[in-house]
Amino acid sequence: MQLRLLTVAVLGGALFAAGAASAQDKPNPLDAVPDKMPADVPYGAPIGIEPARAAIAAAAAEAKKRDWKMNITVVDSGGNLVAFERMDGAQLASIAISQHKARAAATYRRETKVFEGAIQAGFTYLLTLDDITASRGGIPLIAGGKLIGAIGCSGGTGSQDELTCKAGAATVK
């Protein structure tokens, strides 16, 4: 019996050491130190109501053309709600989702599609960050090289949400 326990302990220790060694042999991509800050877009004056309404109108026109029912949100550079539209028949759960996507895009200064791809690639640590939305359909609004807000769309698939948002984002110059 003691010989069995000793054998199990030795084999277990060897397996643990082998697993630790193989984990150390594999480079961690998070250890890379980039030369520049990613998504280092400076903040600009927050988007006003008229450009926000124009972005929503363009997004809604794209969705209507395709017979998609969307919730569309525009937030300012601080993630605060500026304008919102729920198209007739758009699902109720997508109200909050569109707002969350817009806030995440503004707060993190990048498209929410980036988070979706990173989590699919195994960077699950992103789930520990506040207000991450790992679903496409949140796009920063950049004017004159500065972040002025973001648009978020929800109601369809991620790719439908993203395409709708891009139509709205295209109105901001």
pLDDT at 53: 98
* Whether pLDDT at 10 is above 50: no
CA torsion sign, 94 to 86 to 133 to 136?
positive
pLDDT at 8: 43
The CATH superfamily label for domain 49-169 reads: Haem-degrading domain (3.30.450.150)
The string of pLDDT tens digits covering residues 60-90 is 999 999 999 999 999 999 999 999 999 999 9
**Maximum Cα–Cα distance for the chain, whole Å?**
80
* Whether pLDDT at 28 is above 60: yes
DSSP run (H or E) holding 50: helix 49-65
Residues contacting residue 78 through CB under 8 Å, at least 6 positions apart? 46, 106
What residue segments make up the domains of the chain, in order of their start?
A: 49-169
Give the residue-averaged pLDDT of 121-150. 93
The string of pLDDT tens digits covering residues 41-53 is 999 999 999 999 9
Residues 169 and 74 sit within 8 Å (Cβ to Cβ): no
